[in-house]
Amino acid sequence: MNDILPEHAELWTFFEETVQDWLRSYGYRSIRMPIVEQTALFKRAIGEVTDIVEKEMYTFVDALNGESLTLRPEGTASCVRAVLQHNLLYNAPQRLWYMGPMFRHERPQKGRYRQFHQVGVESLGYAGPDMDAEHIIMTARLWRRLGLPDIELQLNTLGTGEDRTRHRKRLVHYLEQHLDQLDEDTRRRLATNPLRVLDSKNPALQDLIEAAPRLLDDLDEVSLKHFEALQAMLRDAGIEYRINPRLVRGLDYYNFTVFEWVTTRLGAQGTVCAGGRYDGLIEQIGGKPAPACGFAMGVERLLALLEEYAFQPPQIAVDAYLVHQGEAADKFAMAAAEQLRDQGLHVILHSGGGSFKSQMKKADASGARYAVIVGDDEATAGEVSLKSLRELEGQVRMTVDAAAGLIGTAR
Ligand code: ATP
Ligand code: MG
């Protein structure tokens, strides 16, 4: 779990503001859920036989009432719970988004942390492939806005429940013929949830997984139609993709579309965004059946990618640093700083005393463009002295309003 220090905060702020602006441009509204939920919600929504529920959740007992609670490992379950609890789907579908920390007890490594952040987007109540397409098209636009090239779109479909039942038989038959090659995890999954075997990260199993029967070959007409329609919309939008028949996603609740955006620039943790359709989830956690789809981006991975491309966030510069000395000056400076801020300027008021010389050093180090100097002379006259910290000019006496005007126009 990482601290995000001020030297990194500008990149985070830039990213968050870009994302908010982007989501607004597609008409998505924000929702904020608590970071703790009843454990049962995640078990029901994500599925018992998943990495997350089997070994990654931070679960604890509430000492007050013995209830089992869990730090959220992802946002979809909480979002859908909130939407149902507050009846938001009563007469309108919803386009929603959230951003915040998620918690998974994983082995920490580059791009994999125990507290990490996701931007999640959920469209609830939309059945058509146009919504799957919207999600993919909008993420493509975000990569463009962020100046991130070379993120590959991988696409697959998980079909319907019936498709998967049919496929399951063929897959189990195949895996049973290779029992000796399976590890302990996949052997267990073979019995409980064989599709999850395809999700295994064990390098020794990759060849076996590669040669396994493909769900794509077991799809019925409805699934194929949805998948074809989505692909046609992506082609119309000029979005390139690669069909990856092995893409199954770590969570249980998906049907039809699944997708991942993957980069080769971040080593093993290359998936920066993942999502798909989950028409069964709302009913599974107690709501009236309604279709839905969504995706989540890994913020740390996207920021690492921005840094990989040497991206510099816009600097939020300090406009003025106010130095002041003397009883009358201290008082006047405090009011002057507020007056400058009234004009929309970013102003640091020196704190902690010291000589003019040492205060000027702090002004320089702050990165401010101007020093605004107040001695008792200035205070008595109700004025300040303005000095550029970027150019070798002297200092000029003027009113606070005049200083605000000058600093503002020079911005
Ligand atoms: P992986 O296969 O890498 O474990 P996942 O399938 O568990 O990924 P999702 O649950 O789909 O991941 O989460 C969506 C996105 O959140 C991921 O694509 C990734 O960018 C990010 N993410 C997931 N887990 C972590 C983590 N532990 N640390 C940082 N980012 C993460
Ligand atoms: Mg994972």
Per domain, the residue ranges of the chain are 6-160+220-308, 320-409
- Going across the sheet that includes 36-38, the strands are 36-38, 68-71, 59-61
CA nearest ligand 1 atom 5, residue? 250
The dihedral sign for the CA sequence 285, 81, 126, 215: negative
Ligand 1: which of 271, 300, 305 to mutate, most ligand atoms within 8 Å of CB?
271
What is the Cα–Cα distance from 149 to 129, expressed in whole angstroms?
Answer: 25
CB 79 within 8 Å of CB 31: yes
Please tell me the number of the ligand nearest to residue 251's CA: 1
Q: What separation in Å is there between the alpha carbon of 314 and the centre of ligand 1?
A: 28
According to CATH, the superfamily of the domain at 6-160+220-308 is Bira Bifunctional Protein; Domain 2 (3.30.930.10)
**Nearest partner of 250 among 268, 276, 270, 224, judged by Cα:** 276
Q: How far is CA 324 from CA 245, 347, 393, 397, in A?
A: 68, 13, 20, 14
What is the Cα–Cα distance from 177 to 175, expressed in whole angstroms?
Answer: 5
74 lines ligand 1 (CB under 6 A): yes
3-state secondary structure of 135: helix
Which secondary-structure segment (H or E) carries 274?
strand 271-277
Dihedral (C-alpha) 256, 257, 262, 267: value to the nearest 10 degrees? -20
- Helix 400-409, helix 327-342: angle, nearest 10: 50
- Output the pLDDT for position 185: 85
Q: Which atom from ligand 1 is nearest to the alpha carbon of 199?
A: 2
According to CATH, the superfamily of the domain at 320-409 is Anticodon-binding domain (3.40.50.800)
407 lines ligand 1 (CB under 6 A): no
Please tell me the number of the ligand nearest to residue 105's CA: 1
Identity of residue 409: T
- Number of other CB atoms surrounding residue 171 within 10 Å: 21
pLDDT in tens, 174-226: 999 998 999 988 888 888 888 888 878 889 999 999 899 988 888 999 999 99
Q: Which residues contact 394 (CB under 8 A, 6 or more apart)?
A: 387
Q: What separation in Å is there between the alpha carbon of 123 and the centre of ligand 2?
A: 22
The segments of the chain whose pLDDT lies below 70 read: 250-252
259 lines ligand 1 (CB under 6 A): no
- What pTM was computed for the model? 0.91
Q: Which residues contact 334 (CB under 8 A, 6 or more apart)?
A: 349
- Output the pLDDT for position 251: 66
Q: Which atom from ligand 1 is nearest to the alpha carbon of 113?
A: 28
Ligand 1: which of 51, 106, 109, 116 to mutate, most ligand atoms within 8 Å of CB?
116
